[in-house]
Chains A and B, each alone.
Chain A
Amino acid sequence: MKSTASLERSRRITTIITYAVLILGAVIMIFPFVWMILTSSKTVPESMQIPPTIFPAQLILDNFKDAIASLPFGRLYINTALMVFWRVVCAIAFSSMAGYAFAKLHFRGKNLLFAIVLVQMSLPSQIFIIPQYQMVAKLGMANTIFALVFPGIVSAFGTFFLRQTYMGIPTEIGEAAFLDGCNQWQTFYKIMFPLTGTSVAALTIFTAVFAYGDLMWPLVVNSDLDMMTLSSGLSTLKGQFSTNFPVLMAGSLLAMLPMVILYLIFQRQFVEGIAGTGGK
């Protein structure tokens, strides 16, 4: 049998190792951001020195100026915000309705229709780009916010995800409301929907993060520089500056800033919103 002292010592060693590994991991996670910041204020020749310098010789903002001169960042922020907002609203509204119906209502063809939802999730999104672009073009809506929102009007993932949530809510709650004289819509809207707050919050985060990172669609559908999103704008910047990394890093920082700030403010909600979705 081990003595208490040696047990204490091995526990302390474990703790130290735990911290060491976590700190090392955190450094790896943070490093690309640090490197992005450092590179963004170097001159091009400086960034390509061998051996490289860690810190820029002097803090220069020229790269940021170049990035801002090439892209209308103000518009990009607004466009991205509008796209994210509308995709989130659509995803919540339509997916809640469909998720509730699939989970709680009985109707013919339910399983077949739900299969459509599942099939969609396994399809690669690249095959939708051309047909969807043609639809938008036919509607005469290319280069609008509507075009950016278009593929996100409905969400198979959201439907699937909220169906799981509604499945977890006891059916008795709905039945009680029904007996109180609510119709199906009222039961859903007044009783059930408010119970899904955490899942809706999580879906908001998923949808927002995905929409914000979406690259191919905005690139194809909106070619007007004033109607681009941050991601597609960044890609345009790459087209212009090729492998001039300091300018690209400056542009990346500007593009990432709003989301990172939002995240740091709401990080608890972000992380816990996601954490609450585990399990099924």
Chain B
Amino acid sequence: MNKGEKLSAAARREENWGWIMIAPTIIGLAVLNLWPFVQTLYASFCEHLGFGHYKFIGIQNYITMFGNIEFWKATWNTVFFCILTVPVGIALALFVAILLNAKIKFKGGFRTIFFLPLVCAPAAVAMVWRWIFNGEYGILNQMLGANIQWITDPKTAIIAVAIVSIWSSIGYDAVLLLAGLQNISKSYYEAADIDGASKVTQFFHITIPMISPTLFSVLIMRLMASMKVYDLIYMMADETNPALVDMQSLMYLFYRSSFVAGDRGYGSAIVVWTVFLIGAVTVIQFLGQKKWVNYDV
């Protein structure tokens, strides 16, 4: 018996263990997620005749889709929602994290409060915000002395949804970023102070590079969630909302096409487009991270 054979027997055992240990997850994902996605992919090239019967029509759905104003509007809404929630949301979260990182009392208390929305059922959160935003009886307009139709005015509807989204996630992002901030050694700042660097310079030359890995993972997570936004809009807008077209995201348009109008082929094409966008954005992020994310610290 030589050593090589023994090793390969061990390697084979390792391989078997590998397969066994991933089996439940992979089988589960294949059945529960991958197969439905393959079906969606196929359906996007078909016309839905009813009750799961499809007729292959080539790229007709995509032609219809790319020629549809409502679709481009939904794409823009999704992008706009991402712009509102990702850069703005993360900037706010970073701001909160920096404040919490200062030498202050009740740090734990503040952290607890900012984190609270995360443990609340989104259905309940959406309801109370709808009530706060209510154009006629909402407390927000009363406090501002304004008369803004937050949820029903095409100009503000998507902003209102973004506010709720940021409100829900800011504490979570801030807690992650705070953990990153706390890992930065004070000595960097002390050295910079001696060199006479301003606080702003310190922020861009020490803080940002040092927390860039955390920032990156928060960014990816938030972006993925925002591209797929659906539940929040579903819960905050009714079918009769005059601003619906101006606030619906791609996934909401998918819901209305597939489930309400029954046009599942077209709905599937929207999903494929959304997944494509998510993939593209993710790839760009991962390529771009080399430029600014610093894993060496």
B287 at the interface (CB under 8 A from A): no
Cβ B15 vs Cβ A107 within 8 A: yes
- Known: A235-B123, A270-B119. Is A278-B176 also a contact (CB below 8 A)? yes
Q: Does B124 contact A (CB under 8 A)?
A: yes
B residues 238-274 near A (Cβ < 8 Å) are 251, 254-255, 268, 271, 274
Name the CB-closest residue of A to B112.
Answer: A267
A100 CB within 8 Å of chain B: yes
Asked if A153 is at the interface (CB within 8 A of a chain B CB), the reply is yes
CA distance A15 to B21 in the complex (A): 53
The reply to whether B104 and A19 contact each other, CB–CB distance below 8 Å, is: yes
Q: Judge whether B2 is part of the interface by a CB distance below 8 angstroms.
A: no
User: Interface residues of B: mostly helix, strand, loop or mixed?
Assistant: helix
Query: Any chain A CB within 8 A of the CB of B203?
Result: no
Instruction: Report if B50 contacts A (CB, 8 A).
Output: no
| B-side interface residues, number (CB < 8 Å) | 85
Instruction: Evaluate contact between B176 and A100: CB separation under 8 angstroms.
Output: no
Measured CB to CB, the closest approach of chain A to B203, in angstroms, equals 14
Given contacts A21-B99, A245-B131, contact A116 B274 (CB under 8 A): no
Q: Which residue on B lies nearest to A114, using beta carbons?
A: B22
CB of A279 within 8 A of CB of B214, answer yes
Asked if B113 is at the interface of the complex by the 8 Å CB criterion, the answer is yes
Q: A18-B102, A32-B129, A256-B120 are in contact. Are A126 and B251 (CB under 8 A)?
A: yes
Question: Given the complex of chains A and B, what is the CA–CA distance between A107 and B100 in angstroms?
Answer: 45
Looking at chain A's contact residues, the main secondary structure is helix
Instruction: Out of A122, A125, A183, name the residue touching B279 (CB < 8 Å).
Output: A122
Known contacts A124-B228, A127-B36, A184-B17; is-contact A215 B123 (Cβ 8 Å) = yes
Contacts of A271 in B (CB 8 A): 111-112, 115, 175
Q: How far is the CA of A28 from the CA of B163 in the complex (A)?
A: 11
- Sample of 20 more A-B contacts, CB < 8 Å, known A245-B127, A249-B127: A15-B103, A29-B167, A29-B170, A32-B132, A94-B25, A97-B24, A107-B18, A110-B18, A117-B25, A122-B279, A126-B254, A183-B17, A209-B119, A248-B131, A252-B127, A252-B128, A267-B115, A271-B115, A275-B175, A278-B214
Q: Using a CB–CB distance below 8 Å, which chain B residues touch chain A?
A: 11, 13-19, 21-22, 24-26, 28-37, 39-40, 96, 99-100, 102-104, 108, 110-125, 127-129, 131-132, 136-137, 139, 142, 167, 170-172, 175-180, 213-214, 217, 224, 228, 230-231, 235, 251, 254-255, 268, 271, 274-275, 278-279, 282
By Cβ-Cβ distance, the 7 closest A-B pairs, closest first, are A154-B28, A107-B18, A252-B124, A184-B17, A275-B179, A98-B25, A105-B18
